[in-house]
Amino acid sequence: MKHNFGAGPCILPQEVFKQAAQAVLEWDQTGLSILEVSHRTPEYEEVVAETERLVRTLLNVPAGYSVVFLQGGASLQFSMVPVNLLGDGQKAAYLDTGVWANKAIKEAKLFGEVAVVGSSKEQNYTFIPKDYDIPKDAVYFHCTSNNTIYGTELHAFPKSPIPMVCDMSSDIFSRQVNVADFDLIYAGAQKNMGPAGVTLVIVKDEILGKIDRKIPSMLDYKIHIEGQSMYNTPPVFSIYVSMLNLKWLKAKGGVPVIEQENLAKARALYAEIDRNPLFKGTCAVEDRSNMNICFVMENPELEKEFLKFAEDRGIVGIKGHRSVGGFRASMYNALPISSVHVLVDIMQEFAEKHA
């Protein structure tokens, strides 16, 4: 048995894999594969509508917000956000907490002034900046809720005096958030929502249409909203599998239930990291991510040996990002706590071997 702690494409529930696999062969008794069905059929339009309903239900999205499914990943949103919200001569505020936040800052600078209100870059992004002010003369404030590469997470969001935008790619649906506190949320699907290929955007309608810039159609939120996520051919399969996965989450009891499961998984692994003399965490304790747990060995020379030791016992995907090294155990929604217990047992076995 494999235990998938990979940080990129998400682990999905086995029942979702089975349903998706069947739909590839034949979808819903149509005689067609989900890969070849027209996105303009009433049946598939209902898939998009149902996926939107599930997003709204699971996240308690209030009235006055649109939900759309786009392409290009969160990386395209780094540009779409400023192209829709940051007008000529205006300023946006950004919090720099990791590689993806830094990439978002780089893209925003193409469209206007960017004020970086706080950064932990000089300390290798090992903590979340705390003491910063959000300028009231900026048109929006952007933050990244969870930092996959360095293993930090915003456990509380600031009270922003201006519209707040958040990249929630790696922890959306993993914990409860108050959508009304944000004006725009975006997230690549491939962590807790579904397979890569679709990007979720939740946007407060009243913040759109306030700049004079001419926006290319494919970059205009309003056009995608009017087209009900089908201005162009949507990522049919990715949306369909996301629907299956969100149905699975809803049947479990929704976000409040999965949040408690995720907390239990994270506590179990952090407890072993802090207890085991061979390992140590890399981030400020108060900012540790519950999704991406980063750690190293006290003796770096043992890292390759431990990686093979773990892989031989079915552990997949724990090698740390190349910019950080060490290990990263990503514990997205579908990862069972039994897999965490296996990893903990392996860490203990390895420590006994080197006692």
Which among 252, 279, 303 is the end of a domain? 252
236 band by pLDDT with thresholds 50, 70 and 90: very high
Q: Contact, 309 vs 350, CB < 8 A?
A: yes
97 band by pLDDT with thresholds 50, 70 and 90: very high
Total structural domains within the chain: 2
Q: What is the pLDDT of residues 133-186, one digit of tens each?
A: 999 999 999 999 999 999 999 999 999 999 999 999 999 999 999 999 999 999
202 band by pLDDT with thresholds 50, 70 and 90: very high
For the chain, give the percent of residues with pLDDT over 70: 100
Clarify whether 191 is annotated catalytic.
yes
SS (H, E, C) the chain: CCEECCCCCCCCCHHHHHHHHHHHHCCCCCCCCCCCCCCCCHHHHHHHHHHHHHHHHHHCCCCCEEEEEECCHHHHHHHHHHHHHCCCCCEEEEEECCHHHHHHHHHHCCCCEEEEEEECHHHCCCCCCCCCCCCCCCCCEEEECEECCCCEECCCCCCCCCCEEEECCCCCCCCCCCHHHCCEEEEECCCCCCCCCCEEEEEEHHHCCCCCCCCCHHHCHHHHHHCCCCCCCCCHHHHHHHHHHHHHHHHHCCHHHHHHHHHHHHHHHHHHHHHCCCEEECCCHHHECCCEEEEEECCHHHHHHHHHHHHCCCEECCECCCCCCCEEEECCCCCCHHHHHHHHHHHHHHHHHCC
Cα 14 vs. chain centroid, distance in angstroms? 20
238 with 195, same domain? yes
Task: Identify the CATH number of the domain in which residue 165 sits.
Answer: 3.40.640.10
State mean pLDDT over 84-94.
97
Catalytic residue among 96, 167, 220, 287: 167
Clarify whether 167 is annotated catalytic.
yes
What pLDDT score does 206 carry? Answer: 98
190 with 43, same domain? yes
202 with 261, same domain? no
Task: Identify the CATH number of the domain in which residue 281 sits.
Answer: 3.90.1150.10
- Residue 305 has, within 13 A of its CA and on its CB side, a CA count of 12
97 with 189, same domain? yes
Q: Which residue range is the domain that position 96 belongs to?
A: 14-252
In a domain, 4, yes or no: no
Catalytic residue among 27, 96, 100, 183: 100
240 with 282, same domain? no
Catalytic residue among 96, 171, 183, 191: 191
In a domain, 1, yes or no: no
298 with 278, same domain? yes
Q: What is the pLDDT of residues 48-81, one digit of tens each?
A: 999 999 999 999 999 999 999 999 999 999 999 9
pLDDT score of 94 more than 90 = yes
pLDDT score of 1 more than 90 = no
Which among 252, 267, 285 is the end of a domain? 252
Whole-model pTM: value is: 0.97
Q: Contact, 154 vs 290, CB < 8 A?
A: no
Which among 215, 233, 252 is the end of a domain? 252
